[in-house]
């Protein structure tokens, strides 16, 4: 479908000659999902995105719902969204902080601190794609009673893009300019035509912190702010207490800016433990209302569901469980930093070794015997929305072929069976976080690798450590002080731009950015960088989709990235809990509308 064809269909919708449902069907035939088709209509001013409520919320008064008890088996360690390197820290921050808009499960935007979602129809989207204007909701107050205003929004832009702050959200803010139009209006200006304008101040990276609480901690002292652990936000729940790595408690905000919300009087998020115990505490015993990220063998979940107390929620999105093969040397130190970008991995610099490693993991076995509903096998890093999914990548499991490749590349077996070449042995430290499916996956990988003359030393790190942003800890995943590692990366937007920027050269994780850069594997490609920049400014949705498919193919074919299984969001909840979930945003993205049916 050409750009002219697309414009013609949109014109027919606007003229009343084609229904929105018909438009969605037409685009589905050429690979567009319903959410993306709806979003295209919104961008064109034919259907304001997020015009419908995110949920059919029923309670008619604020409070009275008692306690909401939630389990996160990976405990959070801080409550500043700009430093939240892992999903658990982002979610815990989202309990208190809100963005201008969030992503609903159908991929459309829902206004939260914004008065409306920008569109061509309401005049907030520039026709040349170079700016978007956000009108802010009036009457919103921070939990300490101060007014929320455009000054807070501008401050978050300045804070996030500051090199001294070294925020994990910097990628969403450093290349834009934000202008205060008036006390309740801001304009985000782009350096070039920008098709994906819903990044800054939206979703997981858009959570807004108060200027008056953080203005004195907006530089090199940013990590010292008391409010990093004692948040003052605008959300439906106010801070009560927080024990990092353990329990977070909150209470109803009596002055919340949405009517009759929240339903629950108190909220407790218990961290730590393991995924199986969390699943059991909801599905079997009913001690908790909700458990996050059920990274549990599907057979176990089905047995627990049989108790009849709760259910497993599976929401398709863009999450991916994958292996990273370090492009740098984790055992060589440069200027006090291992895995320095100036180094190369002694073994993985050889494409033959990386190709062999990709052949030694049986994705079909992972899906069939470990993940089940929660992990369809995939050869792609970028899997959703479907129009961005490559048809070019294939995965294969072949120990024989791996051996042939290594033989041909001159990696000979030593007397102990481990291959070596030029004094470099194929013995790798393979790390991941502690949970049963990942340890089982490690074991499967190790067994196959041994048959190819490769020795994997398996390392399991407590999740609260592995996913923390502690700059002093050598075992955090952003440092990658191992040869290879495995985890899930999420896609908290119904667009791949931010998801795929984690392989750009300017996002390399390093000591200089407090290991907050998103390119953790340290792979770099001039072709990737150039194509990514082009995609950022491509307004034709068909050409833009083709660019992201090529970006996926570049990084996957390098074999520094080995996709394993798609990871839809899998959670557990009591049968009577009514929640609002979206795989395109954080678990807590619309916590204000959670309630319990009695």
pLDDT tier at 489, thresholds 50, 70, 90: very high
Instruction: Tell me: pLDDT of 31 over 50.
Output: yes
Q: What is the pLDDT of residue 494?
A: 87
Report the C-alpha gap between 182 and 187 in whole angstroms. 10
Asked if pLDDT for residue 480 goes beyond 60, the answer is: yes
pLDDT of residue 9: 74
Which whole number is the average pLDDT over 580-598?
Answer: 95
Summarised one tens digit per residue, pLDDT across range 389-431 is: 999 999 999 999 999 999 999 999 999 999 999 999 999 999 9
What are the structural domains, with CATH classification, of the chain?
3-43 (no CATH), 102-225 (3.90.76.10), 320-492+560-567 (3.10.105.10)
- How many Cβ atoms sit within 10 Å of the Cβ of residue 163? 12
Contact predicate 75/464, CB 8 Å: yes
When pLDDT is averaged across residues 71-87 and rounded to a whole number, the result is 92
pLDDT digits (tens, 9 = 90+) for 84-120: 988 899 999 999 999 999 999 888 899 999 999 999 8
Which pLDDT belongs to residue 49? 43
Between CA 130 and CA 132 the distance in angstroms is 7
- Lowest mean pLDDT of 37-46, 138-147, 165-174, name the range: 37-46
- In the predicted model, what is the mean pLDDT of residues 187-198? 94
Helix or strand or coil: residue 471?
A: coil
Mean pLDDT of 478-486: 97
The per-residue pLDDT for 51 is 37
Sorting pLDDT into bands at 50, 70 and 90, what band is 20? low
pLDDT band at 240 (very low <50, low <70, confident <90, very high): very high
413 vs 411: CA distance, rounded Å: 7
Beta bridge partners of 595: 578
Q: What is the pLDDT of residue 52?
A: 42
Q: Is the pLDDT assigned to residue 28 strictly greater than 80?
A: no
| pLDDT over 50 (residue 47) | no
The pLDDT of residue 428 is 98
């Amino acid at each position: 479908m050409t750009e002219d064809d697309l414009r013609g269909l949109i014109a027919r919708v606007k003229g009343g000659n084609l229904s929105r449902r018909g438009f969605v069907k037409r685009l589905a035939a050429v690979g567009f999902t319903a959410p993306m088709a709806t979003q295209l209509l919104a961008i064109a001013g034919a259907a304001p995105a997020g015009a419908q409520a995110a949920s059919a919320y029923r309670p008619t008064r604020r409070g009275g719902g008692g306690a909401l008890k939630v389990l996160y088996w990976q405990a959070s360690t801080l409550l500043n969204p700009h430093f939240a390197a892992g999903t658990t820290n982002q979610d815990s921050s989202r309990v208190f902080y809100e963005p201008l808009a969030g992503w609903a499960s159908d991929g459309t935007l829902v206004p939260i601190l914004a008065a409306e979602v920008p569109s061509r129809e309401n005049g907030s989207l520039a026709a040349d794609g170079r700016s978007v204007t956000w009108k802010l909701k009036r009457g919103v107050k921070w939990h300490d009673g101060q007014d929320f205003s455009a000054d807070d929004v501008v401050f978050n832009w300045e804070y996030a893009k500051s090199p001294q702050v070294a925020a994990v959200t910097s990628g969403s803010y450093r290349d834009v300019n934000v202008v205060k139009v008036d006390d309740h209006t801001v304009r985000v200006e782009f350096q070039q035509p920008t098709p994906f304008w819903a990044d800054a101040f939206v979703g997981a990276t858009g959570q807004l912190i108060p200027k008056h609480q953080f203005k004195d901690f907006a530089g090199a002292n940013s990590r010292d702010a008391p409010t990093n652990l004692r948040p003052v936000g605008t959300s439906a729940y106010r801070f009560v207490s927080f024990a990092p790595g353990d329990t977070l408690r909150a209470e109803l905000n009596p002055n919340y800016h949405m009517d009759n919300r929240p339903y629950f009087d108190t909220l407790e998020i218990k961290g730590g433990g393991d995924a199986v115990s969390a699943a059991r505490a909801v599905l079997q015993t009913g001690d908790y209302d909700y458990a996050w990220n059920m990274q549990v063998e599907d057979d176990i979940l089905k047995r627990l569901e049989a108790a009849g107390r709760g259910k497993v929620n599976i929401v398709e999105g863009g999450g991916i469980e994958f292996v990273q093969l370090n492009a740098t040397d984790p055992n060589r130190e440069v200027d006090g930093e291992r895995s320095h970008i100036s180094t190369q991995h002694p073994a993985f610099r050889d494409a033959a070794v990386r190709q062999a490693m990709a052949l030694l993991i049986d994705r079909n076995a992972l899906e069939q015997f470990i993940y089940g509903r929660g992990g369809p096998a995939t050869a792609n890093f970028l899997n959703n929305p479907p129009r961005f999914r490559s048809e070019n990548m294939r995965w294969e499991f072949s120990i024989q072929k791996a051996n042939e490749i290594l033989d041909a590349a001159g990696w000979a077996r030593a007397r102990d069976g481990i291959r070596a070449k030029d004094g470099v042995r194929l013995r790798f430290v393979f790390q991941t976080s502690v949970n049963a499916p990942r340890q089982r996956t490690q074991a499967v990988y190790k067994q196959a690798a041994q048959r190819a003359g490769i020795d994997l030393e398996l390392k399991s790190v407590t999740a609260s450590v592995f996913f923390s942003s502690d700059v002093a800890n050598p075992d955090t995943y952003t440092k990658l002080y191992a040869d290879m590692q495995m985890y899930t990366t999420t896609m908290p937007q119904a667009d791949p731009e931010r998801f795929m920027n984690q392989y750009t050269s300017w996002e390399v994780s390093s000591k200089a950015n407090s290991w907050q850069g998103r390119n953790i594997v340290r792979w770099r490609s001039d072709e990737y960088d150039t194509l990514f920049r082009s995609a950022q400014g491509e307004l034709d949705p068909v050409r833009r989709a083709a660019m992201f498919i090529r970006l996926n193919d570049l990084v996957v074919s390098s074999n520094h990235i080995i996709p394993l299984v798609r990871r839809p969001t899998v959670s557990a909840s009591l049968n009577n809990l009514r929640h609002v979930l979206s795989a395109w945003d954080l678990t807590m993205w619309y916590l204000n509308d959670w309630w319990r049916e009695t």
